Every structure is written in C-alpha cells, then in structure tokens.
Amino acid sequence: MKITSSEYLASAVKPEQYPELVVPEVALVGRSNVGKSSFINTMINRKNLARTGGKPGKTQTLNFYLVNNSMIFTDVPGYGFAKVAKSHRQTWRKMIEEYLLKRANLKGVVQLIDIRHLPTNEDKEMFFWLLEKQIPVMVVLTKADKISKGKVQKHVSDICKQLNIPLSYPLVFSSETGLGREEAWEAILELIQQ
C-alpha cells in the first residue's frame, strides 16, 4: 500500500466532536498497551503520528487520522487498564460503545491481541460483543517479534481456540519489524470496500 499522505484530524469524547468528513473508517481496539497506536503508525509509515507510550493508558480520547485523503483510522483508548478509576472506566466504556454503535462511517474494527498471551476476559468480551453487534472485526495478533518463530503457530492456535475462530482468521503482526503489514492493508482495503 502506497501512503501518499497522513494527518491527524481530530480528537473526540462525544459524537458532536467526530470529524464530519464522510470516508470509510476503521477503528483500533484492544487492551491498553497492546500496540494500537503503534499499529496505526506502522500502517501509515509514520514514527509517532499516533502517540505511543511505554505506560498503559496513553490514548485517552478517540483520535482520528486521515490516510491518503480517503480513509480514517480511529485510535481508541485501551481497555483493561487497572489504574484507571472505576467511574472513569465506565465513562470510557460508554464513549467507546457509543462510537462503535453509532458511527455511520465505521466499516469495521481491528482488534489487537498480544500474541504472547491468551486473550483476557475483556478481549473475549469485546470480540463476542462485536460479533453480536454484527460489526465486522479483524483479529490482529501483534508483538510477534517478541516470540520465536517456532512458537508462533502454537500461540495462534491457542488464541483461536479461546475465540472460537479458525486458524486462518487472525493476522500475525509486528509494529517493530513490519511483519504482516501488507496482509493487514489487504484485509483493511477489503473491509472498507464493503
């Protein structure tokens, strides 16, 4: 995929703040610190357009990025971050659900899961909720550079069992090395053409 332009558009915590631009949109969801912002940067060949960080809870608002003037990646705050106060967590949850359910431009979701670990309860809850709401969802297993190649298939198969999906469903990815980038673009282009 050739990237000709990428720019930050807006941040939002409520629908009135979403960009008015009508282009296909793909949202990133996943645990805090799993690499959602890094995924966006890798896809668009930018180092830090979407701000990343070593500490979980870096992204706190819905952040919209326009790519090639033709599609938007929405960076979504991560879930499962214990240090966020309970009341705050409820607000985030509402904000995320509202966005995922009401955003007309949304074509689908990329759910990131750390390839090193089994999906958490929250990962499963999110995945099955998206299925239930009939929101198209791609599963991307990221941080693949952190395990040896020989272990990849076993991790993929353990994660697939937990999510009840075929082995061919998830994409193996690394923001560090760019592994899986082209395949991810192919899948995303297919998603937004529907």
Instruction: Kindly list the residues in this chain that would bind Mg ion in the complex (CB under 5 A).
Output: 36-37, 58-59
- Binder of ligand GTP out of 58, 107, 155, 181 (CB under 6 A): 58
The total number of residues shown for the chain amounts to 194
Q: Locate the DSSP E strands across the chain.
A: 6-12, 25-30, 62-67, 71-75, 106-114, 137-142, 171-172
Distance of alpha carbon 57 from alpha carbon 60, whole angstroms = 7
CA proximity to 140, closest of 164, 120, 162, 159? 159
* x/- track of binding to ligand GTP for residues 140-179 (CB under 6 A): --xx-xx---------------------------xxx---
Least separation in angstroms between residue 50's CB and ligand GTP is: 7
CA proximity to 152, closest of 168, 172, 170, 134? 172
Least separation in angstroms between residue 37's CB and ligand GTP is: 3
- Binder of ligand GTP out of 18, 26, 49, 59 (CB under 6 A): 59
* Interface positions with ligand GTP (CB under 6 A): 30, 32-38, 52-54, 56-59, 77-78, 142-143, 145-146, 174-176
